[in-house]
Amino acid sequence: MIPRLTDGYPDGHNGFMGKKYSIAQARDQLARVVREAEGEPIELTRRGEPVAVMVSLKAYSELRGESPSLWKRLEQFRMQVLRDGIEDVFDDVRDTSVGRDPQTF
């Protein structure tokens, strides 16, 4: 999940919980910072103040509301079922509790 950078947190906290790099540090270690951004958002600072966030392409697409088509999601589901089996997919869907006692009317 991607942290939301919003107001409303106490003590001026901006809600960002990822790693921070100055722009100079990020420039000097760009390949490493990009690899880290593929896993979690990276905050970039200038003179100690946050100015930008680096995120993976997948996270950026999600933020923009670009989600895979229904057909693409169906293909992904089918691949998951072929890989993991159907039993694992629905394990947490069905309520296995006994339920309530039936009442006679």
Alpha carbon 41 to its chain centroid, in Å, reads 9
Gyration radius of the chain's alpha carbons: 22
pTM over 0.75: no
Q: Which residues of 58-83 are buried (b: 16+ CB within 10 A; e: fewer)?
A: ebeeeeeeeeeeeeeeeeeeeeeeee
pLDDT in tens, 50-71: 999 999 998 888 888 777 788 8
DSSP 35-58: HHHTTS-EEEEETTEEEEEE--HH
39-52 pLDDT tens trace: 999 999 999 999 99
Q: Report all structural domains of the chain as residue ranges with CATH numbers, in order of start.
A: 10-55 (3.40.1620.10)
Least confident range of 6-15, 30-39, 95-104: 6-15
Mean pLDDT of 3-23: 59
Strand, helix or coil at 22? Answer: strand
